[in-house]
Amino acid sequence: MRRRAFLAALGGALVGLPRSLPAQQVDRVRKIGILMPYPVGDPEVRARLAAFQDELRRLGWSTGINLRLDERWATDDLDRVRTASAELVRLEPDVIFFTGGRVTRIIQAETREIPTVFVGVSDPLGQGLVANLARPGGNLTGIANPEYTITAKLVEILKEMAPAVARIGIVMNPANPSTAFNRRQFEAAAPNLGIEPHFLPVQQPIDIERAFSAFARDQHGGLVFPSDLTVLAHRALVTALAARHRLPAVYSDRAMAIAGGLASYSADRREMFRQGAAYVDRILRGEKPGDLPVQQPTRYELVINTQAARALGIALPDVLLARADEVIE
């Protein structure tokens, strides 16, 4: 009886522990190559990567024990992204983990063999990056960005916050593979949303300054920002210029509202990085990326910056504030 009681107690204690690795996996350290197309000190992207590492630890992987992480931070300079991608491939990691639609084809040009997991790529099927969402095949899978219809949702929120807005510009880098898709969705939805659509292409900080200045010359304008690497990389400038030109704007990344933007509606990016970590874990345990379906985000969040609203003279509807997941005072 004592022995059975001891074994039962031991079994209960083990339930809460992280999954142990199969015996054949503890004889060597597994390597993950990480490519982030942002400045190395970017606090928001660092927080996302911390969520990724926390999830790996929860699943039983610890750096210095059974895991090695090789990070490359390349900013949004695609030449640096190419260099970083080649460096990681030469290290022959067990998995490459990255974010950003423009990064995908660069990594694919370097390797079609090393298992690769992405986070934050728009429409990977429509772009021809995978053969099938349910069974992507090849060496690539991951967590996709929300569908393009989210752009219409950004417009709806903007109109709810600032009903007088009649002209809305969609701001994206033309080099972003998803720009053409987002623009078509935006322009198709415009008549039903009662707005005059405009496309504001930006690539460099000077483009952002010129585009905002020109668009603000006419009244009743507002801006929406689908997911875009260039916009996020220059978020301090983007939000400052939107405020200076008194352009109400809704973004598709919480980091933009934290940086001073009026509001954001987006998938929870940190949660997406955790989802990506779960896929990395499954690949390290022997599953093939081509057998893992491309997932969609599972959690969305509305963030409202009331300080930015007051600066713009916007009286926020109580019903909208009640719906917000986070209100920045």
Query: Phi and psi of 170, rounded to 5°?
Result: -95, 125
> pLDDT by residue (tens digit) across 18-38?
444 444 444 689 999 999 999
Burial class (CB in 10 A: 0-12, 13-18, 19+), 80: middle
Domains contained in the chain, CATH given = 19-145+269-298 (3.40.50.2300), 150-267+301-328 (3.40.50.2300)
């916007």: which residue's tokens? 314
Task: Check whether 17 has a pLDDT greater than 70.
Answer: no
- With a pLDDT cut of 90, the percent of the chain lying above it is 79
> pLDDT by residue (tens digit) across 65-90?
999 999 999 988 899 999 999 999 99
Task: Check whether 14 has a pLDDT greater than 80.
Answer: no
pLDDT of residue 25: 46
Do residues 248 and 94 make contact, with C-beta atoms less than 8 angstroms apart? no
Task: Check whether 138 has a pLDDT greater than 50.
Answer: yes
Sequence-ordered alpha helix ranges (H) in 31-178: 43-58, 78-90, 101-110, 150-161
* Tokens linked to 52: 């990724």
Q: CA-to-CA distance for 279 and 20, rounded, in angstroms?
A: 16
